[in-house]
Structure 1
Amino acid sequence: MFDVTSSGKWPTGYLINPNPEPLDPKWLKEFSRIPAAAVSDCLGRNVGGLGLKPFHGNTPMLGNALTVRVRPGDNLMILKAMQMARPGDVLVIDGSGDLTRAVFGGIMRAMALKAGIVGVVINGALRDLDEWLTGELPAYALGGVHRGPSTDGAGEINVAISCAGMLVQPGDLMIGDGDGVVAAARTELPELLKRCHDLLARERATLEGIASGTLDPHRFDAILRAKGCPV
């Protein structure tokens, strides 16, 4: 089913692109210390997944995006993507937000762990919820449902997808923790890391000011006056 036709074209509805180059391990080391909320703030505060819930506890997630787009309720191309996955990959799945059928469950979880996959992010549903509670494999999804998937749909691997309102490109850095999931383009990582360090330094200084009682009590009044509000 996945062979390119003699004309050099994929069958209608199917596309499998090669994996991007793995991320340099230095980025994984550097961003392992950066919370998802800080990354989101430094990307403009309007990016990241919306409505994704952690089903694994609070184990953080960090890895290289392997993207999959599937027909709602079908997981055939997810199974193929797991065959292509490399250790350190995060499966990011666009299931069109469908919550009527789970596209990922306990058996696939075992397969993912065996392949060295370090996270699963689903714009849709998963199942076998008790098995995720061990925290071994971070899993974020819109919801859970007992109804299982079909295995005959079309789909695409390693293409740009929308996952819970978040644009994800193959090879993006995926960052997840208790606050949610954010994707960062690899071309932005050097500047993004600097911004994150600056933000975290400012936050530490603010917390120290709160503890010592040295924060300027009039700082918010100044902002309001600058906006024309008489205070």
Structure 2
Amino acid sequence: MTPTPVAREVVDGLAALPVANIGDSMDRLNVVDAGIQAVWNGAAVAGPAFTVEVAGGDNAGIHAALAEIPAGAVLVVNGHGVTDRALIGELIAERLRKIGCIGFIVDGAVRDIGDLEELGFPVFARASSPAGPYKNGPFRIGTPIALGGVVISPGDIVVGDRDGLAVVPAAEAAAVLERARRKNADEAETRRSILAS
């Protein structure tokens, strides 16, 4: 599946807005469930999804994806919510960063959180676990996946901040950006009115 490219200025515009405004602008749909959060305080990410589905607790597909992830992409992994084995730690994060990947999102667990924070590599996950993964497969790369109750296709824009994650379908990204900007401006005006009263 060839992802629909989203203009850089649209991605940058989404990155500048709170995820809450983005979710509200999509009728509060396409918001990833609250169990998947930033693993270190201040982590934020916005970029096109490079999708992988793996067997729970197995990261063979992540290793295979390292040869295919384009620079500027976010690696998004359906780990089926398995939280007793970490799918990445700081070594894979270093490799991801070196090839230009800008963040990692997994419906599963990670480890080495202190090192991930020190690297400044944005990671969102359901849990942390010191236990390492298996490497047996199976896996799928570059197909639509489910993550925290949301379907994500390759190239969709994933945006994450302290509140959590939203997924913006690539074909709707420009329209969502405009609605989210209006929502953000409306909230700013409401805040001014509250302070002035």
Is the TM value for this pair above 0.5?
Answer: yes
Question: Do the aligned partners of 2:38 and 2:44 also contact (CA within 8 Å) in 1?
Answer: no
Instruction: Compute the displacement of 1:57 (Å).
Output: 2.1
- Percent same amino acid at aligned positions? 28
Question: 1:14-53: CA deviations, max 9, x gaps?
Answer: xxx6x63543212122212211111011111132211112
Deviates more, 1:39-48 or 1:154-163: 39-48
SS at match of 2:133: coil
Q: Of residues 14, 17, 31 in structure 2, which corresponds to 1:34?
A: 17
Task: Work out whether 1:66 is the aligned partner of 2:50.
Answer: yes
Alpha-carbon separation, structure 2, partners of 1:110 and 1:29: 24
Instruction: Compute the displacement of 1:135 (Å).
Output: 5.5
Question: Do the aligned partners of 1:27 and 1:189 also contact (CA within 8 Å) in 2?
Answer: yes
Alpha-carbon separation, structure 1, partners of 2:5 and 2:116: 26
Structure 1 residue aligned with 2:122: 138
Structure 1: which amino acid aligns with 2:44? P
Q: Of residues 25, 30, 48 in structure 2, which corresponds to 1:47?
A: 30
| Paired residue total | 196
Structure 2: which amino acid aligns with 1:206? T
Q: RMSD of the TM alignment (CA)?
A: 1.4
Task: Work out whether 1:101 is the aligned partner of 2:85.
Answer: yes
Instruction: Compute the displacement of 1:100 (Å).
Output: 1.4
Structure 1: which amino acid aligns with 2:41? G
Instruction: Compute the displacement of 1:204 (Å).
Output: 1.2
Structure 2 residue aligned with 1:188: 172
Q: Given the superposition, is the C-alpha separation of residues 135 and 48 from structure 1 closer, same or farther in structure 2, using an over 3 Å criterion?
A: farther
Question: Do the aligned partners of 1:89 and 1:116 also contact (CA within 8 Å) in 2?
Answer: yes
Question: 1:178-210: CA deviations, max 9, x gaps?
Answer: 111111011111221121121112111101110
Gaps of 5+ in 1: 1-16, 214-231
Structure 2: which amino acid aligns with 1:120? F
Alpha-carbon separation, structure 2, partners of 1:190 and 1:28: 9
Which gives a bigger RCO, structure 1 or 2 (Cα 8 Å, sep 6+)? 2
Structure 2 residue aligned with 1:149: 133
Question: Do the aligned partners of 1:64 and 1:174 also contact (CA within 8 Å) in 2?
Answer: yes
Instruction: Compute the displacement of 1:83 (Å).
Output: 1.4
SS at match of 1:152: coil
User: TM-score normalized by structure 1?
Assistant: 0.81
Structure 1 residue aligned with 2:6: 23
SS at match of 1:151: coil
Instruction: Compute the displacement of 1:128 (Å).
Output: 1.3
Structure 2: which amino acid aligns with 1:49? V
Question: Do the aligned partners of 1:56 and 1:134 also contact (CA within 8 Å) in 2?
Answer: no
Bigger-Rg structure (1/2) = 1
